[in-house]
Structure 1
């Protein structure tokens, strides 16, 4: 028998929550559960438990008590704790929700909040998280340790901010894939878990957005890793089941008439997914949704994306006019201007801007794509 790692990750937040209710602070509970997970990997293949969660609770609690006995203050708390069996499933869901809030505490930096969420709620090991973020394990261990120390005095029953939790999960999703951990898939798993624990339109909106974006993943790159723009993607490679699920979740969220930014973003993604070809994209509706999104967030990056959509809906000159109202220092401003200049019939300027955008691209794949765009125009004789 092999250990079901997905089961361990699913049980982790509930077990941490049970230890917390018995008197363990977050840092001590999380440490004890991690030790229990290591023990499970060692023991379960030869002796699988009938009740995996109960086994983890028992072993983790023993690990906590062993550590507590060496500390006088914790010994006093140990004498006060209630050793009755863990509460039922409804309380477990609440434990998980509170852990989301705790790991996305406003006192943490975004990177620390992401790492702590993956460790405590996602059940990933420090090594797995370090590999996913391409940093040394010692560096990630320090980051998680500092984060645990920061929130160690925060009570699990304190109210949390759903918006902060969603932003942390979205950060995880946008990291995509690296090492042996697929962070996009992990973010979807965690957001599904959150959606099951809380009835919230924006949680549903984020889940829909993730599913709709993830559905296009197989078409985003060529076998050699080259980036494929949305308009050039083979839509036959898109995952229609994920698209259908994302649209269904989005429609139910929108019907509640509690519009938020993730629902608006998901609506834009759904319109892209609905088009059988790039030419059939309903850019007029997309611009309208960008207007809603800009009203909700007043985010300059949203306005940048809106300018490109305006260029598609109303012509390149209209897009350039919308772009001109924004700060040229915005990320990807130059790339957006290059695209609109080419569509406006100015290939010389477009080639120069593509090359300029490539020099400041945030990653290698995007840099290579922009460089190829400049080379393509120059090869056609425009440069």
Structure 2
């Protein structure tokens, strides 16, 4: 063909990255090259954020997807790897040792992973539903709520789920032991590949700042107050069901802590912006833990209804066990996050830069 005059844009080389080796990252050099306006002038940043917010949901999905793959590999390894004997007596008496899945600490890592993955996946779908409602609902109030929730939840989906995805991948490598640190098993690749998800499309620290600095205050706090009201309504409607008691009590406690953290930020963040910055990551995790508690409560209600209707599929009983584990062993982390976020920024900012 006839390409015409070259626009002086050059690829100077490929980056050697820690992970995602199937993705080519290039160094691009521009030498007074020509650019073209796409779209309306002075609207580029607004249009970019449409793309970025969609991408942030996708990166949250990436964190959960990589966690799922790592969990599956770890669970398979734990059922096959023979090492030691169960603390309560041999479970594989005819073999030289028991599979490591009999050990409580291995179970801890597998159960922590599964409790976060399954509720995290539900949180992704639930958030995506809000986006569909924002676009397609004939009810203006529903569209507004959908838009509010999408704005509020996007930094939580991106930041919280990728932080948790890294933790799951790390635990999956730990379950593999020394073998996981080699390239004979996939655990090391999952660990390398998931790490970028905490960085690109806005680092998780930036997501946390976006949450506390912009999303909470938007429209007078309408989105977060609407979320609190939704949680309160669920608890009120289901608190008399004894089968759901672990879920309604856990959700009510987490919501109270999240509300306390929110009020603290509103009172102290404006007075000293460093307080908001120091609290932001703990607040994001407190929010994410509460959101996943709500997902487990919704899941549990559906499972209990299926069981009450006579469905004997063990899928539902398994879900309920994992959900109760989340409430008992994962959700208590809300206490620590609330304590840290309300401690303020004084000690965090006390040392002069040269002391580091």
Q: Same fold (TM over 0.5)?
A: no
TM-score when normalising by structure 1: 0.24
TM-score when normalising by structure 2: 0.25
Q: Which has the higher contact order (CA 8 A, sep 6+)?
A: 2
